[in-house]
Amino acid sequence: MMLANYLTAIILIVLGLFCVITKKDLIKIVLGLGITDYGINLFIVSLGFNEGGTSPQFAMSEIMHGAYFVDPVPQALTLTSIVIGACVDAMALAFVVMLYRHYGTTDSTKIRRLHG
Amino acid sequence: MSHIHFPVVAVMSMFVGGFLIAIFGAKRRKLSQGIALVTMLFADVLVYSLFSPVILHGEVISYWMGGWKPVEGYAIGIGYEVDQLSLFFAMLICFVLTMSMIYSIRYLEKDSALDHYYTLNLMLGGALLGIVMTGDIFNMFIMIEIMTFTAAALTAFRNHKAISVEAGFKYLVLGSVGSGFILSGVAVLYGVAHTLNMAQLSTVLSQNYNPSTIFAFALMFSGYALKSFLMPFHTPVPDAYSAAPASIGMLHSGSLNKCGIYALIRLTYILFRVMGLPAVQTMMVLIGAVTMFVGVTMALAQHDFKRLLAFHSISQMGYVVTAIGLGTAIGLTGGLFHAINHSMFKGLLFLCAGAVYYAAGTTDLDRLGGLSRKMPWTTCCFIVGAFSISGIPPFNGFASKWMIYQATYQKAVTTGNIGYALVTVIAVVVSVMTLASFIKVTQAVFFGQERPQLSAVREVPALMRVPMVIMSLICVLFGTCYNLVNDFLLYPAVYATLNTHGYVDAMMGKNYAAASGMPFVKYEPVQFSFWNPVTWLVLFVIVLLAVFVVMMTGESDRGRVLANKGEEADGKFATFFSGEKSLPSHVGGSDLFWGFKKDFKKYFKVVQGIHSGIVNDYVLYAVCGLAFITVFMFVFVLGR
């Protein structure tokens, strides 16, 4: 069952990078970055899953050896990573809007005043 | 004992200061500047007061957020840990940030939205300090991510210019691809080791090489290499540095890529301890050598002052990585010394470029000339910086570059591998080309004839000159008092890097490292020996011969270029002999090495074509770099 998650994560990452490399439209580039991010997030959250584990919420007195629960750390990491990813996407889209105002296009092959 | 709180308070105060400016600073320029300066000085005091306990007394500060100490040898909470290597970089970053902030008071007086600038600037500073002071690898990723997007926003600060926004977008896209690499690497590491604490990871991963850990290493190495902008990942650098305001270009070049270098050192020397493997050494030296060569040749072809400096920045980072990649104590010392020197002279050069922009309104080399009479202070500071970066004694660049030549040559002798001697030769050649390209800048901007449209230029205000003068004094000081620098900065940092028992024990409890079977490395301090007169004389003769040969070839060229249609011979384009008879003619930046560029026309066509300016291509290079590093590691480390 976890194998499906890992495969999906890898497919998403590769698809996202493929999109960033081949698509010439700036908005599609930003979308590609987002898809890569989702793939990584899926990968991290799958890492912490234990088949048949309980939710990792215990009172101080309930913690004992041999308790079997889902690893909470990757979930915390994923939440942080989602927030950061959202910030980056928002900022990249803001840049795209400004680039459209300056250049009148969102074609990445035309936005190359700095080169060589 | 209160000083164990200093690192985390320093990081937090920067963020708090940033948010205070965001709340209260709108439309109040003086208030924004005041809060920013006070916060920065506060962080400076906290960081520099750690000098005595950490560097002089050798204490390693460990701090657990919320007091969550390790349980049964497993780290639970997020830890901050400051050893000598961290403090070395933290002091460097604090110095560069302070200089940049003092400079921007007058430099940005014509810009609006200063509250945004200072908010982002303080957040960037907090993130940089966080990167070097944290002991948690995921925390480091978050700080790197904050660094990336604040840096992208600051790059696009003058967003009424199209090129600034373009550069910011490229920087952001490449940066988040790099962050993706790092995050995947961290995830794989967590899957293997079930911990995120660097001290504990280092005991788990040491000598433990299997496909998962090596893949994680390749991912994180590529990510950190992107953050320090090494060769296939360097593409957004020239755009970002040239389009950003000079005070931000200085931060980019003086502290951001140093954080990448810090992360690389942590990764290779402390987390994975792979520097004993010849394959990893070969890889890092290869990347470093290619980086320094391509960087400097691209710089020779540039027309813009700041863009030229950006390519030199890439090239100098190549030196640092080459030296670090040797895996020897002298190499590491030279690398760290060059890192700190690079921050000083490249920061100084960016400030000079900013001063030229402030006074003349452009940084295009073909539209400048003869500023030395108008701007004597800037000219002097620029010449100090140019001599330092070209490695001319007694400035600081010479001391560190000489150590790097020595380290690579020594490596060639001890391993018997002729490739390392070749790297020494490349390093010397690159240094000569650096000098050539700075001769071009000095001639094009400061000397030569004054252009009539620049007659109204005035020297920059005193508040902008202060950071420039301080940094040039440090350039001279580090070049002459290298032994003091070695004793009080380099030796402790190198010791902490090579000898990680202290780092692990301070975090995880006494004898944790020894119990987990980590090897102990004995390390003797490196003796400086670059004033050895014989070797120095040999180098001098070689350089003299090189200059002589170049000048002779230049003379044979003299006048041939334009004299073919029965005109009078005109030496304007002859190498080293250029100059026209008619008076109102300025030998511009493009004219000086015209012959050289013509001879290597094919090479320049290829490398300039690679820097196409299309963001898709740049991401493709980054992914190819990742693929190369991964394949290399799997073939030569696992396949042994």
Q: What is the CA radius of gyration of chain A?
A: 20
Q: In whole angstroms, what is the distance from residue B288 CA to residue B308 CA?
A: 19
Closest CA to B148 of A86, A98, A84: A84
Q: How far is B55 from chain A (nearest CA, A)?
A: 34
* Full residue range of the structural domain in which residue A9 is found: 2-51+70-103
Measured between alpha carbons, how far is B292 from B317 in angstroms, rounded to an integer? 7
Lowest mean pLDDT among B106-110, B497-501, B564-568: B564-568
> Cβ–Cβ contacts within 10 Å for residue B57, how many?
7
Tokens of B288: 């470093």
Quick check: helix, strand or coil at residue B25? coil
* Interface membership of A28 toward B (CB under 8 Å): no
Interior angle at CA B298, CA B297 and CA B304, nearest 5: 130
Q: HEC profile for B515-528?
A: HCCCCCCCCCCCCC
CA A54 → CA A43, B202, B291, B568, distances in Å?
20, 31, 51, 91
pLDDT of residue B559: 44
Q: What is this model's ipTM?
A: 0.95
Whether residue B227 contacts residue B181, with contact meaning beta carbons closer than 8 Å, is answered with no
B76 to chain A: closest CA residue: A73
**What's the average model confidence in pLDDT over B77-103?**
93
The pLDDT, as a whole number, for residue A81 is 93
- Whether residues A40 and B180 touch (CB distance < 8 A) is answered with yes
Judge contact between B356 and B371, C-beta under 8 A: yes
- Residues A1-20 have a mean pLDDT of 92
User: DSSP string covering B405-420, please?
Assistant: HHHHHHHHHHH--HHH
Q: How confident is the model at residue B570 (pLDDT cuts 50, 70, 90)?
A: low
pLDDT score of B585? 56
- Classify B29 as helix, strand or coil: helix
The dihedral formed by the CA atoms of B69, B75, B79 and B83, expressed in degrees to the nearest 10: 100
Residue with tokens 């006070």: B38
CB B120 within 8 A of CB B56: no
Closest residue on chain B to A84 (Cα): B145
Query: How many CA atoms lie less than 13 Å away from A60 in the CB half-sphere?
Result: 0
Q: What is the mean pLDDT of chain B?
A: 87
Q: Which of A112-116, B122-126, B616-620 has the lowest mean pLDDT?
A: A112-116
Which residue type sits at B55? I
pLDDT (0 to 100) of residue B537 = 63
Question: Could you tell me the CA-to-CA distances from B317 to B180, B197, B325 in Å, in that order?
Answer: 23, 28, 12
Those residues whose C-beta lies under 8 Å from the C-beta of residue B410, and which sit 6 or more positions away, are: B328, B330
pLDDT category at B481 given cuts 50, 70, 90 is confident
Greatest mean pLDDT range, B198-207, B269-278, B592-601, B628-637? B628-637
Task: Measure the CA–CA gap between B219 and B216, rounded to whole angstroms.
Answer: 5
| A96 domain residue, yes or no | yes
**pLDDT-based confidence at B560, cuts 50/70/90?**
very low
From chain A, pick out residues whose CB is under 8 angstroms from the CB of B173: 20, 29-30, 33, 92
Contact, B397 vs B320, CB < 8 A? no
- Tell me if A60 is assigned to some domain: no
Check CB contact under 8 Å for B176 and A21.
no
Instruction: Determine if the peptide bond prior to B245 is cis (ω within 30°).
Output: no
Q: Between residues 31 and 70 of chain A, which touch chain B (CB distance below 8 Å)? A: 33, 36-37, 40, 43-44, 47
Fill in the DSSP letter of residue A109.
T
| Longest pairwise C-alpha distance within chain A | 65
Average pLDDT, chain A: 90
CB-closest option in A40, A74, A115 to B611: A115
What does the domain layout of chain B look like in residue ranges? 536-599
Q: Inter-chain contact A95–B238, Cβ cutoff 8 Å? A: no
Q: At CA B480, angle to CA B253 and CA B459, rounded to 5?
A: 55
Q: Report percent pLDDT > 90 for chain B.
A: 52
Can you give the CATH number for the domain in which A25 is found?
Answer: 1.10.287.3510
- Closest CB to B169 among A74, A95, A116: A95
pTM: 0.90
Q: Do B190 and A74 touch (CB under 8 A)?
A: yes
Select the residue of B138, B191, B612 nearest A115 (Cβ to Cβ).
Answer: B612
Paired tokens of B184: 């995947």
Chain A touched by B615 (CB under 8 Å)? yes
Average pLDDT over residues B329-347: 93
Interface touch B190/A47, C-beta < 8 Å: yes
Gap between the Cα atoms of A78 and B405, Å rounded: 45
What length is written for chain A? Answer: 116
Q: Which of B191-200, B308-317, B521-530, B574-583 has the lowest mean pLDDT?
A: B574-583
Q: How far apart are CA B326 and CA B276, in angstroms?
A: 9
**Residue B625 structure tokens:** 């770099």
> What pLDDT is attached to residue B594?
77
> Nearest C-alpha of chain B: how many angstroms from A86?
12
Does the pLDDT at position A35 exceed 90? Answer: yes
Determine the residue type at B263: A
Task: Using DSSP, state whether A14 is helix, strand or coil.
Answer: helix
Spatial contact of B457 and B375, defined as CB atoms under 8 Å apart: yes
What's residue B589's pLDDT?
63
In B408-456, beta strands by DSSP E: none
What whole-number distance in Å separates Cα of residue B221 and Cα of residue B216? Answer: 8
Place of tokens 């400096």: B309
C-alpha B397/C-alpha B461 separation (Å) is: 28
Please state the rounded mean pLDDT for residues B526-543: 64
Phi-psi label, residue B558: left if phi above 0, alpha if psi -120 to 50, beta otherwise: beta
Give the best-scoring range by mean pLDDT among A26-35, B202-211, B495-504, B545-554. Answer: A26-35
B194 phi and psi angles, rounded to 5 deg: 55, 35
| Mean pLDDT, residues B506-510 | 82
A109 to chain B, minimum CA–CA distance in Å?
6
In a domain, A108, yes or no: no
Judged by CB atoms closer than 8 Å, whether chains meet at A47 and B611 is answered as no
User: Does the pLDDT value for residue B221 go beyond 90?
Assistant: yes
Task: List the single best residue of A10, A46, A88, A103 to mutate versus B (max B Cβ within 10 A).
Answer: A88
Return the pLDDT at B538.
75
| Numbers of helices and strands, H then E, in chain A | 3, 0
B419-442 residue pLDDT tens: 898 999 999 999 999 998 898 888
Nearest CA to B267 out of B307, B229, B216 is that of B216
Residues 6+ apart with CB under 8 A from B601: none
The pair of three-digit structure tokens given for residue B622, joined into one six-digit string? 């980054």
The least confident of B179-193, B440-454, B512-526 is B512-526
Query: Left (φ > 0), alpha (ψ -120 to 50) or beta: where does B229 sit?
Result: left
Find the angle CA(A104)-CA(A105)-CA(A110) to the nearest 5 degrees. Answer: 115
Confidence of residue B590 (pLDDT cuts 50, 70, 90): low
Could you check whether the bond before residue B461 is cis, i.e. omega within 30 degrees of 0? no
The domain tally of chain A equals 1
The Cα B7–Cα B506 span in angstroms is 15
pLDDT at position B527: 60
Q: What is the dihedral of CA B370, B376, B377, B382, to 10 degrees?
A: 40
DSSP class per residue in B260-273:
HHHHHHIIIIIIS-
| pLDDT at B566 exceeding the cut of 60 | no
Question: Which chain A residue has the Cα nearest residue B611?
Answer: A116
Q: B61 φ, ψ to 5°?
A: -85, 125
Instruction: Give contacts of A43 with chain B, Cβ < 8 Å.
Output: 184, 187
- Report the C-alpha gap between B229 and B222 in whole angstroms: 10
Position A84 in a domain:
yes
Which one of A3, A5, A20 makes the best mutation probe of the B interface by having the most chain B beta carbons within 10 Å?
A20
Identify which of B180, B608, B615 has the shortest CB distance to residue A36.
Answer: B180
The letter for the amino acid at B418 is I
**Is the CB of residue B445 less than 8 Å from the CB of residue B314?**
no
Which of B76, B165, B219 to mutate: most A Cβ within 10 Å? B165
Q: Where are the alpha helices (DSSP H) in B326-417?
A: 329-360, 376-390, 396-415
> CA nearest B111: which of B29, B166, B187, B35?
B29
Residues of A in contact with B238 (CB under 8 A): 114
CB-neighbour burial class of residue B601 (10 A; exposed 0-12, middle 13-18, buried 19+): exposed
A13 close contact with B: CB closer than 8 A: yes
For the ranges B45-49, B304-308, B567-571, the lowest mean pLDDT is seen at: B567-571
Show the tokens assigned to B182.
Answer: 């790092």
Whether B193 and chain A come into contact, CB under 8 Å, resolves to no
Q: In this structure, are strands B61-64 and B79-82 parallel, antiparallel, or unpaired? A: antiparallel
Q: Does B76 touch chain A (CB under 8 A)?
A: no
Tokens at B563, concatenated: 């004299």
Write out pLDDT tens, residues B292-331.
Answer: 999 999 988 888 889 999 999 999 999 999 999 998 888 9
The CA distance from B312 to B146, in Å, is 26
Q: Residue B165: which of A33, A40, A102 has the nearest Cβ?
A: A102
Hey, which residues does B82 pair with through a beta bridge? B61
